[in-house]
Structure 1
Amino acid sequence: MEPIKLILEKLDYLEQLIISNNKEILSVEELEKYTGFKKSYIYHLVHFSKIPYSKPNGKYLFFEKSEIDEWLLKNKSLSDDQLQEKAREYVLKKRNI
């Protein structure tokens, strides 16, 4: 691919990314860029109701960015330090009961 065409494609990608980062409601294409998930995987998640979405008039899919952020951070793994702190808090709480 010639360098100028590659640069223009990258600029277009960055422009779309900036636009989608400033929006609260995302389309499938914008969600694809926002998350890095392939479009087919997004449709798979929607089909099995694994991701929060809206489908007004039963046609187009839309995603609320804040809900997507929350969904992406679900089932978060804690670091060893965080687990030790939770264990310490639990033990202290049990002693005070």
Structure 2
Amino acid sequence: MESHELLQKLNRLESLIIGTSKQILNVDDVVNYTGFSKSYVYKLVHKNILPYSKPNNRTLFFTKKEIDEWLLQNKSKSISQIEQEAINYTNSTKK
């Protein structure tokens, strides 16, 4: 691995470690946290898909909690979860 690639990976790790303790994120933090490209984050903001704040019409800010919630929306259940729900439903209707 080239030293340039190694430096990039170390910088990303450092950003992730520092970013995990932050509750308010900027665009660069969101890029590091999610792995999305900066242009994709701006696209999501432009389309009002990603929740954000923009005080004084300048810098974009995001809350880590809202980013986490957004990332986990539209969750798909596993087969075992669906089977367990079916069993629970069947058992509750037998009474």
State the superposition RMSD in angstroms.
1.8
1:23 paired residue number: 22
Q: Give per-residue Cα distances to partners, 1:35-79, cap 9 Å, x unaligned.
A: 001111111111111111111111111110011111111111111
| Distance in 1, Cα, partners of 2:59 & 2:19 | 17
1:16, CA displacement in angstroms? 1.4
TM-score (norm 1): 0.84
| Distance in 2, Cα, partners of 1:44 & 1:22 | 26
2:77 paired residue number: 78
1:95, CA displacement in angstroms? 3.6
Gapped runs of 5+ residues in structure 1? Answer: none
1:7 aligns with 2:6: yes
| Distance in 2, Cα, partners of 1:20 & 1:7 | 20
Q: Give per-residue Cα distances to partners, 1:2-26, cap 9 Å, x unaligned.
A: 9444333332222112111111111
| Distance in 2, Cα, partners of 1:91 & 1:3 | 58
Identity of aligned residues (%): 49
Moved over 6 A (4+): none
Gapped runs of 5+ residues in structure 2? Answer: none
1:33 paired residue number: 32
TM-score (norm 2): 0.86
| Distance in 2, Cα, partners of 1:18 & 1:62 | 19
